[in-house]
Amino acid sequence: MTIVKYKIENRIAWVSFNRPEKRNAMSPELNREMMKVLNELEFNDDVGVLVLTGEGTAWTAGMDLKEYFRETEAKGLGGIRQAQSESYGWWRKLRWYQKPTIAMVNGWCFGGGYGPLYSCDLAIASLEAKFGLSEINWGILPGGGATKVATDLLSMRDAMYHAMTGELINAEKAAQWNLINEAVPVEQLKARVTELAEILLQKNPVALKATKDAIRRVSEMTYDNAEDYLIRAQEAANSFDNEGRKEGIRQFIDEKTFKPGLSTYDI
Ligand code: ACO
């Protein structure tokens, strides 16, 4: 059984955590396998959008407490650092992934799971999904970036409450708190994610990559630094895609076949 599954359908790569019997807890093996799969798909021309989901009742129950913590700690500092670099490594790859990414959160999402949740550009959850920074419940702080995720996405009060109490929140509250984009009934989850992926598939891919990176980068910049970054980012994107935006202007101004305020140009 492969611990990370994927299939490509109509330019969407459906990647899933596949350890349902362990609620998709992230073990070192799973982390290594996920990195391989992400590498395989990143520059595959058959893939336009990547969706990350989970088999069974969990998206992911976070880090594997036995294999990731107990067993790697038993190997000493070298083992700990290696396990960290394997997990943080694929989350980082996913944060800056070449293709747009959507977390399709089908169930439980705990602790370390906030790393890949944040790495995905967009997140849609089933109303049945539940989220928790459960670290405090077993005696650690939310590490592996989870505290940073909470403070980036939630208000200070909500982040503090969430991290200090370890209480679960449901998907509706997760959407209210901006941890995810929206929550939908479970029977609509795949259709809604497909619909969203199809919107992204119609966009200029060079502009999409530049846009998603810009959203992450500029949030930490002053206005003037952001202005400068965005000029340079657009000019860099132009060097990969000289014709795309000119074609968009042509279809609007000359052909009058679309209006950019209302839809996307025909790529
Ligand atoms: N690490 C290791 N094993 C896990 C994990 C985990 N994070 N989560 C579940 N499992 C294992 C269980 O030990 C159990 O194994 P077993 O069948 O060999 O006994 C199996 O998965 C099924 O788990 P259950 O608890 O029986 O499943 P249930 O559906 O009743 O509950 C739930 C699901 C709520 C997710 C529960 O398993 C749980 O609380 N898991 C831990 C969640 C958590 O706090 N994760 C750590 C976050 S902190 C961090 O990531 C740094």
Q: What value of ipTM does the predicted structure carry? A: 0.99
Q: What's the rounded mean pLDDT across residues 130-158?
A: 96
> Closest Cα partner for 154 from 128, 132, 174, 133?
174
Q: What pTM was estimated for this model as a whole?
A: 0.95
Q: Ligand 1: distance of its center to the CA of 17 in Å?
A: 14
pLDDT at residue 249 greater than cutoff 90: no
Where does the pLDDT of residue 240 fall: very low under 50, low under 70, confident under 90, or very high at 90 and above?
confident
Ligand 1 pocket, 160 CB below 6 A? no
Strand partners of residue 26: 63
What does the block give as tokens for 164?
Answer: 């200090």
Q: Provide the H-helix boundaries in the chain.
A: 28-42, 71-73, 77-95, 114-119, 146-153, 156-165, 171-176, 189-201, 205-218, 223-240, 244-249
Q: What's the rounded mean pLDDT across residues 27-40?
A: 98
Q: What is the pLDDT of residues 133-142, one digit of tens each?
A: 999 999 999 9
Q: Ligand 1: distance of its center to the CA of 190 in Å?
A: 25
Closest residue CA from atom 16 of ligand 1: 22
Q: Ligand 1: distance of its center to the CA of 65 in Å?
A: 8
Ligand 1 pocket, 25 CB below 6 A? yes
Side-chain-side CA neighbours of residue 243 (13 Å): 2
Angle at 3 between CA 117 and CA 118, to 5 degrees: 5
Where does the pLDDT of residue 208 fall: very low under 50, low under 70, confident under 90, or very high at 90 and above?
very high
Ligand 1 pocket, 59 CB below 6 A? no
What does the block give as tokens for 147?
Answer: 């505290």
Mutate to test the pocket of ligand 1, among 65, 69, 109, 117 (most ligand atoms within 8 A of CB): 65
Q: What CA–CA distances, in Å, run from 69 to 15, 119, 235?
A: 25, 22, 45
pLDDT at residue 243 greater than cutoff 90: no
pLDDT at residue 259 greater than cutoff 90: no
Q: Work out which ligand 1 atom sits closest to the CA atom of 110.
A: 47
Ligand 1 pocket, 111 CB below 6 A? yes
pLDDT at 148: 97
Strand partners of residue 5: 16
Q: Work out which ligand 1 atom sits closest to the CA atom of 138.
A: 44
Q: What's the rounded mean pLDDT across residues 212-221?
A: 97
pLDDT at residue 180 greater than cutoff 90: yes
